[in-house]
Structure 1
């Protein structure tokens, strides 16, 4: 490994070191506040390192990794998400019965796993990144072990993740048996010269099962609602954003390397999964009275929308997918930030009825949550509108008419349950909401400020998406 390759790896080395720093801080018995601030500084240092290495991109680190503009964007988005999740985690766990210090070790390890997925170009690095991510999530989901829902959610995710690993390894074995390589580029060249054999399609299909579990595509979605409900809100936010960004990034890279969209059978499979996810996700969300379960089923639909951008397999589809991931992540951080700040010491603010009349009690939080719901619904002047429009445009450009029509129809269905939540916020309150305990005013008000900034970012992305889209296209040219 030469100096330039080592320099390109610097942000990932800082991510790996962040968990070691937390371990040392715990060993010296430092406080939760010190650990929180140190973790925040490590994430900021990661961002600085990414900025410093930008001129060295793209950089291939054989045989496992490639750090290019695509990886820089997705890794940066993951780190941004973790900065917000870390802030939410402080005000949530500071008031809980569990010692929150070890939580940050798991959070930073999961971040490292998701980041490794974004730079993977080989089955080995894909498996390593996915396992680091999954094993960390077992502990994060069940961290509040005194709650039955948390333990149940952790066990469900553990069993399904083990099943996912088995499918992943078997699919890799079949592809390796056919091509003699586990490098995406080599496999792609084999496909170009020999086409998709039966064994290759079978191996990719089994790999798709593993990816489908991680992204909660239909029919691999049964774990999503229970895990979203049982996990602490900051962890749910991480699963819904950073975790899925990492997995979807490696799916995009793998699809582009092999040209999966050019095989008619695989194209049909992806189209079916996209259509089923959009329909089932929206229909299951219609009757939900638990906001975390509502967002879980909503996420199934949104990743169905993302598959519409994946189907063309071209630069426009890739740009649309990345912008959608950005808009979706910022929006969900707003929603789960509100859930976090509204949760009490004994119970999370899960029930939709808990938010009745919130505008008359805490208008800032109500406005932030309203904007987040409008963005998820794809209403103009919010980030969700240009994101969904770009996905639609990429599908229309490639003549994917059935998925596009289903996307439009299911988006109309989604309006009902998003607007229902907004309506509840502005109803007359029936009872007083429990006041949030303020132990450290600086972090409490920092959370209010961050939620306001995220809301403004949603509006800015909705009003002026052009600069961000141009930036994404420039980064994609560094491949």
Structure 2
């Protein structure tokens, strides 16, 4: 490894070192507040390292990694999401009986696993990154072990993730048997020279099981609502953003490397999965009275929408997918940030009745939630509307009429449950609510500022998307 290659990997090295630094802070018996502040500063250091090395990109680190604009873009989204989750984690865990210090070790390790996926160009690095992410999530989901659903959710995720990893390895083995390589580029080259690609199609079809599980796509979605409900609210936000950004990024990179659209069978499978996810996710969310389960089913539908941008396999689709992930991540982080603020020591603020008349008690949080749900519904002047427009445009360009039609119809269905939550916020005040927390005002003020900034970002991206699109395009050109 030469100096430039080492510099390119510097953000990921800093991310790994951050988890070790947290271990040392715990060994010296530092307080939760000190660890929280140190974790935030180390996340800022990762951002600085990314900025420092950006002029040296792209850099290939054969055979496992390539650090380019694509990886930097999705890694940036992951670090931003992790910083927001870390901020919400403090107010969520501070009053709870479990020691929250080890939580930050797991958070950094899971982030490292997701970030590794964004720069992976080899099945080995893909598998290692995915397993580092998954093993950390097992513990994060069940972290509040005294809660009724936490251990159950952690066990369910562990068993299903282990099964999906087996499918992933078997699919990789079939592709290796066909091509004789595990590097994305060499796989693509071998397929071009081969007269038959049956084993490749079978292998990737089996790998779709693991990918579908990680992205909670139908019919691999059965874990989503239970895990979303049972996990601590900041962890749920992490799963919905960081975990899925990493998996989707490596899926996009692999699809571009092997020119996936040239395989009609694989594209047909993804088309069916996309349409099924859009339909099932929206229908299951219609009658939900638990807001965390509602967000779980909603995420199934949204990643069905995202697959419509994945199907064309062109630059417009990748740009649309990147913008959609950016808008969706900001929205989900804000929603679960509000849930974390309203949660008490004994119970998460997950029942919809808790939010009845919230406007009369917490107008700022009501405004944040309202804009977030309007964005998820795709209402104009929000980032969600522009994101869906870009996905529709990329689908129409490639004549994907059926998935586009399903996207439009299911988006209309989604309006019902999003607007139902908003109407609940402005209903007559309810006596059911959450008790006030007794935390240092600095952390509350910081959290409220973060939520307001996210709300304004949704407006900015919805009204002036051009700057963000140009930035995404510039990153994607660094290849």
Same fold (TM over 0.5): yes
Question: Which residue is 2:37 aligned to?
Answer: 37
| Normalised TM-score (structure 1) | 0.99
CA RMSD of aligned residues (A): 0.7
Q: Deviations over 1:190-235 (max 9, x none)?
A: 2222255221111000111110000011000000000000000000
Question: Which residue is 1:428 aligned to?
Answer: 428
Tell me, yes or no, if the aligned pair for 2:355 and 2:425 is still in contact at 8 Å: yes
Take 2:151 and 2:284, find their aligned partners in 1: how far apart are those partners? 24
Q: How does 1:429-448 map to 2 (within 5 A)?
A: 429-448=429-448
Question: Which residue is 1:287 aligned to?
Answer: 287
Take 1:440 and 1:14, find their aligned partners in 2: how far apart are those partners? 29
Tell me, yes or no, if the aligned pair for 2:377 and 2:411 is still in contact at 8 Å: yes
SS in 2 for 1:53: helix
Take 2:164 and 2:23, find their aligned partners in 1: how far apart are those partners? 29
Tell me, yes or no, if the aligned pair for 1:91 and 1:444 is still in contact at 8 Å: yes
Tell me, yes or no, if the aligned pair for 2:327 and 2:458 is still in contact at 8 Å: yes
Take 1:312 and 1:432, find their aligned partners in 2: how far apart are those partners? 48
Tell me, yes or no, if the aligned pair for 2:353 and 2:432 is still in contact at 8 Å: no
Q: How does 1:89-168 map to 2 (within 5 A)?
A: 89-168=89-168
Question: Which residue is 2:2 aligned to?
Answer: 2
Question: Which residue is 2:16 aligned to?
Answer: 16
Question: Which residue is 1:260 aligned to?
Answer: 260
Tell me, yes or no, if the aligned pair for 2:354 and 2:434 is still in contact at 8 Å: no
Q: Deviations over 1:305-349 (max 9, x none)?
A: 000000000000000000000000000011000100000110000
Q: How does 1:383-422 map to 2 (within 5 A)?
A: 383-422=383-422
SS in 2 for 1:148: coil
Cα drift, residue 366 of structure 1: 0.3
Q: Deviations over 1:372-421 (max 9, x none)?
A: 00000010011101100000000000000000000000000000000000
Tell me, yes or no, if the aligned pair for 1:438 and 1:444 is still in contact at 8 Å: no
Q: Which runs of 5+ in 1 are unaligned?
A: none
Question: Which residue is 2:355 aligned to?
Answer: 355
SS in 2 for 1:308: helix
SS in 1 for 2:275: helix
Q: Deviations over 1:233-257 (max 9, x none)?
A: 0000000000000000000001111
Take 1:458 and 1:316, find their aligned partners in 2: how far apart are those partners? 21
Question: Which residue is 1:298 aligned to?
Answer: 298
SS in 1 for 2:60: strand
Question: Which residue is 2:345 aligned to?
Answer: 345
Question: Which residue is 1:67 aligned to?
Answer: 67
Take 1:336 and 1:233, find their aligned partners in 2: how far apart are those partners? 6
Take 1:70 and 1:195, find their aligned partners in 2: how far apart are those partners? 31
| Normalised TM-score (structure 2) | 0.99
Cα drift, residue 189 of structure 1: 1.2
Take 1:100 and 1:441, find their aligned partners in 2: how far apart are those partners? 19
The answer as to 2:222 corresponding to 1:204 is no
Take 2:418 and 2:436, find their aligned partners in 1: how far apart are those partners? 25
Question: Which residue is 2:477 aligned to?
Answer: 477
Question: Which residue is 2:316 aligned to?
Answer: 316
Tell me, yes or no, if the aligned pair for 1:343 and 1:436 is still in contact at 8 Å: no
Q: Deviations over 1:413-450 (max 9, x none)?
A: 00000000000000001215223213211111110110
Take 1:420 and 1:192, find their aligned partners in 2: how far apart are those partners? 51
Take 1:227 and 1:36, find their aligned partners in 2: how far apart are those partners? 25
SS in 1 for 2:66: strand
User: Which stretch of structure 1 is more off in the superposition, 257-266 or 151-160?
Assistant: 257-266
Question: Which residue is 2:380 aligned to?
Answer: 380
Q: Number of residues paired by the alignment? A: 479
Q: Deviations over 1:345-371 (max 9, x none)?
A: 100001111100000111000000000
Q: Aligned pair in 2 of structure 1 residues 195, 69: CA closer, same or farther (>3 Å)?
A: farther
Q: Aligned pair in 2 of structure 1 residues 276, 432: CA closer, same or farther (>3 Å)?
A: closer
Q: Deviations over 1:40-97 (max 9, x none)?
A: 0000000000001000111110000001111001000000001100000000000111
Question: Which residue is 1:247 aligned to?
Answer: 247
Tell me, yes or no, if the aligned pair for 1:15 and 1:108 is still in contact at 8 Å: yes
Take 1:326 and 1:196, find their aligned partners in 2: how far apart are those partners? 38
